[in-house]
Structure 1
Amino acid sequence: MCERLKLSTWKVQLGVLQAMNAYFQGLMLFDEEHSDPGALTEILLETCSSITHSLENKSYTSVRTEALSVIELLLRKLEESKQWESLTAGSRELLIGSLTTMVLDSRPELQEKASLLKKTLENLD
């Protein structure tokens, strides 16, 4: 999914982001009995580096909106499962950088959501 996210048309990107949302909703690594911090860290490394492309997509609001909802879901799942250590400092920095760009978005609702997610990530330190 991560490879397709970078090189595709906006419709494919949107579909991939929606698939990512479904994937992370059902990902059992967030459940205590299936916890595997190493595997989760690897998945998050790959996801965070590819999703920044979508967060910074200036042309399509739908792609940015869906990318934000994937990030929001990931942060909620990490919070619920208390697995923040699976999100590396490098991944956090990548996301904070892209969210900083989005805080200047032309759509106020995206600015607000990006700002909230950015604050969440910054407060992890």
Structure 2
Amino acid sequence: MCGKLKLSTWKVQLAVLQAMKAYFQGLLLLEKGNEDMNALSQILTEACTALTYSLENKSYSSVRTEALSVVDLIVKRTGESEQWDCMPVRSREQLQRSLSTLQSDSRPELRDKAQELWVELECECSHSG
């Protein structure tokens, strides 16, 4: 899925983002008590890198909106399962950079959500590590 996000039309990107959302909703590695930290870390690294392209998509707000909802889901589930250590610092920083670009988006709901997630990632970065 991650590979398809970069070089596809916006409709394909949207479909991939929706599939990613479903994937992360059901991902058992994001349950509390997960023992396979390496696998989760690899998945999050790949996903975060791919999501930055969609978050920074200047042309389609639908792609940015969907990417933001995937990031929101990842942040929520990672927090709920207390697995921040599985998200490499570099991935968090990548997401934060992309969220920063969204904070100047023309759509206020995207700006606000990006700001909220940026702050959440910032808090988690300073607590773990």
Contact kept in structure 1, 2:32 and 2:82, CA below 8 Å? no
Letter in 1 for 2:74: L
Contact kept in structure 1, 2:49 and 2:94, CA below 8 Å? yes
- Determine the C-alpha separation between the residues in 1 that align with 2:27 and 2:15: 18
Q: How many residues align?
A: 125
- Determine the C-alpha separation between the residues in 2 that align with 1:108 and 1:17: 21
Say whether residues 1:116 and 2:96 are aligned partners. no
- Determine the C-alpha separation between the residues in 1 that align with 2:43 and 2:35: 13
Secondary structure in structure 2 of the residue aligned to 1:32: coil
Q: Which residue of 2 aligns with 1:7?
A: 7
TM-score by length of 2: 0.94
Contact kept in structure 2, 1:28 and 1:35, CA below 8 Å? no
Shift of 1:58: 0.5
Q: Which residue of 1 aligns with 2:46?
A: 46
Q: Which residue of 1 aligns with 2:75?
A: 75
Contact kept in structure 2, 1:18 and 1:66, CA below 8 Å? yes
Q: Which residue of 2 aligns with 1:96?
A: 96
- Determine the C-alpha separation between the residues in 2 that align with 1:6 and 1:95: 15
- Determine the C-alpha separation between the residues in 2 that align with 1:35 and 1:68: 27
Two-structure CA RMSD over aligned residues (Å): 0.8
Quote the sequence identity (%). Answer: 57
Structure 1: 5+ residue stretches without partners: none
- Determine the C-alpha separation between the residues in 2 that align with 1:121 and 1:67: 16
- Determine the C-alpha separation between the residues in 2 that align with 1:97 and 1:33: 30
Contact kept in structure 2, 1:103 and 1:112, CA below 8 Å? yes
List aligned pairs for 1:29-44, cutoff 5 A.
29-44=29-44
Contact kept in structure 1, 2:55 and 2:68, CA below 8 Å? yes
Shift of 1:35: 3.4
- Determine the C-alpha separation between the residues in 2 that align with 1:63 and 1:57: 7
Secondary structure in structure 2 of the residue aligned to 1:123: helix
Letter in 2 for 1:85: D
Shift of 1:32: 3.2
**1:93-119 Cα distance to aligned partner (Å, 9 max, x none):** 100000000000000000000000000
